Homo-oligomer: A and B are copies of this chain.
Amino acid sequence: MPESFKNGIVERVFRNFLDLMILRLVQIEPMWGYKIIKHVEEQHQIRLRHGALYPLLNKLEKSGFLRSKKETKGGRIRKIYEITSKGIQLAEAYDEFLRGELKKNESTKILQE
């Protein structure tokens, strides 16, 4: 039961915060769309639809959260995305919120023990 909860949560986070998940992923290691899909599939057992991902990547680049450079690997074109300083700011804001939320619950747990 507790494990199934976790799967559902991971799915929800990727559905609703896909942009932030991508920013954090790309912050750790610059990547192209196809690799992001495979990476998320492996790491979280979650199917990302490319029909949702590619438009989002383009949107994030237009908004200045990501920048891309094209690389040709054996005839195939890859658009490798990097996080920008604006993107880092957004990711940081998210982290700050998460840290704050966790802190709240840590103190609750101490009270309940």
Residues of chain A at the chain B interface (Cβ within 8 Å): 1-2, 5-6, 9-10, 12-13, 16-17, 20, 24, 27-28, 86, 89-99, 101-102, 104-105, 108
Contacts and interface: CB of A to CB of B under 8 A. Distances in A.
B96 A98 contact: no
Given A9-B94, A108-B28, A2 B89 contact: yes
B105 A27 contact: yes
B105 A102 contact: no
A97 B10 contact: yes
A17 B27 contact: no
Nearest to A25: B104
Given A9-B93, A98-B102, 13 more contacts: A1-B86, A1-B89, A5-B93, A6-B93, A6-B96, A9-B20, A12-B16, A24-B101, A28-B104, A28-B108, A95-B105, A98-B101, A102-B102
